[in-house]
Chains A and B, each alone.
Chain A
Amino acid sequence: MTETVDVRRRVLEANEAAARLLRERFAARTLVPNLISSPGSGKTTLLEATVQRLAGRLRLAVIEGDIATERDADRLRALGVPAFQILTGGACHLDARQVDRALAEAHFGDLDVLFIENVGNLICPTSYDLGEDFKVALLSVTEGDDKPFKYPAIFARAAVTVLTKVDLLPHVTFDLEAVRVQLATLNPTGDVLLTSARTGDGLAEWCALLERRLAAKRSAA
């Protein structure tokens, strides 16, 4: 004899509950962007360039997610920014409980912006709410101009898409207009920024966007 019982529970409810608590904790004080891209798109490099521009004015910290090594956290610590490295040991994304544990261990204190750099992956991190204010998708021009339509979930959900390494545009086949059309179709209200951490192009705009969103979050509270 078998018995069937109704369950009707969200599979990710444990993660969602943890994300809700994180969001309450950050409410009105700390802006939390969740950076998502393939490996090698330049998430850490963008963060290095960002903290160098904002560190004097804002209290910043970074949570890094990687399968292995402290390399990314070390790169940010070298710039004087508190950074905590989460090692997922094989998992392809961060979840909210890991972020919660990282915060408990890191003792960052009061922050204006907490950057979360997710594990390099365009698919899995999309499903996991980390209590962030918004997702940032990075796409480097060397990855090819067909990626938004090939990985639609992240580009549809990211409030901001940052195109990186645009200094390489003259050297690669990358149809910027085609990418803009794909992004506008997937995500009509999203922001799109063109940046190069090497030349500094677009970084002032990116930092201004962060400051604007921080101010908007605080005034809404």
Chain B
Amino acid sequence: MHELSIAAEVYRTSKDAVAGHGGGRLVAVRLVVGELTAIEPELLGFAWEALLKQSDDAGARLDVEWRSARQHCAACDAAKPRGEGTWLRLCPDCGQPLTVEGGDELDVLSVEFEQDGGGGHD
């Protein structure tokens, strides 16, 4: 459900970036989303489309890169692979608590846009 407010923040961040570079129409946004953010990719896509529909940026792509979390076991002093979708925070080998790093990313990496004024249609 919060995908709509996340999409709105992504859009705001992207618009700010475009405005900071002379303004223009948004073509694509590259977003990094960690697997522990509890963001549902399909819902984020729907929210993005719905949000932009009535705007000048309608049709702009949202390209999402997924990032996995890294797990480390202090007792084994080793990185431990993380099964897809699992939230278990205990070492599969020794049962001790794992340190989990990353997976909570939610960053706009870059924006692609068509610059204003290039077409001279005003």
Chain A's closest residue to B88 (CB) is A185
Does the CB pair B109–A153 fall under 8 Å?
no
The interface on chain A, measured as residues whose beta carbon lies within 8 A of the other chain's beta carbons, has a size of 35
Separation of A183 and B19 alpha carbons in the complex (Å): 46
Complex Cα distance A195/B115, Å?
Answer: 60
Contacts of A93 in B (CB 8 A): 2, 5
A91 at interface (Cβ–Cβ under 8 A)?
Answer: yes
Nearest A residue to B39 via CB reads A127
CA separation between A13 and B13, bound complex, in Å?
Answer: 9
State whether A8 touches B109 (Cβ < 8 A): yes
Instruction: Please report whether the interface of chain B is mostly helix, strand, loop or mixed according to DSSP.
Output: mixed
Question: Is there contact, CB below 8 Å, between A185 and B13?
Answer: no
Complex partner residue of B17 from A5, A15, A128, A184, CB under 8 angstroms: A5
Q: Tell whether, in the assembled complex, residue A8 and residue B108 are in contact, meaning their CB atoms are under 8 Å apart.
A: yes
Q: Which residues does chain B contribute within 8 Å of A189, judged by CB atoms?
A: 97
Is A18 on the interface with B (CB-CB < 8 A)?
Answer: no
List A162-221 residues whose CB lies under 8 Å from chain B: 184-189
Contact B108 A126 (CB under 8 A): no
Given A11-B10, A124-B1, also A152-B107 (CB < 8 A): no
A92 adjacent to B1 (CB under 8 Å): yes
A28 to chain B, nearest CB (A): 27
Contacts A185-B90, A188-B90; A10 near B38 (Cβ below 8 A)? no
Task: Say yes or no: A185-B89 contact (C-beta < 8 A), given A7-B13, A11-B106.
Answer: yes
Question: Inside 8 A of A124's CB, which chain B residues have their CB?
Answer: 1-2, 5
- A8 and B88 contact, Cβ closer than 8 Å, known pairs A2-B114, A3-B112, A93-B2: no
Question: Nearest chain-B residue to A152 (Cβ)?
Answer: B87
On whether the beta carbons of A188 and B31 are closer than 8 Å, the reply is no
The chain B residues found within 8 Å of chain A, CB to CB, are 1-2, 5-6, 9-10, 13-14, 17-18, 21, 24, 27, 31, 36-39, 87-90, 97, 106-115, 118
Please, could you name 5 A-B residue pairs with CB atoms under 8 Å apart, sorted by A?
Answer: A7-B17, A8-B110, A11-B106, A124-B1, A153-B87
A residues at B contact (CB < 8 Å) = 1-15, 91-93, 95, 121, 123-124, 126-128, 149, 152-153, 156, 184-189
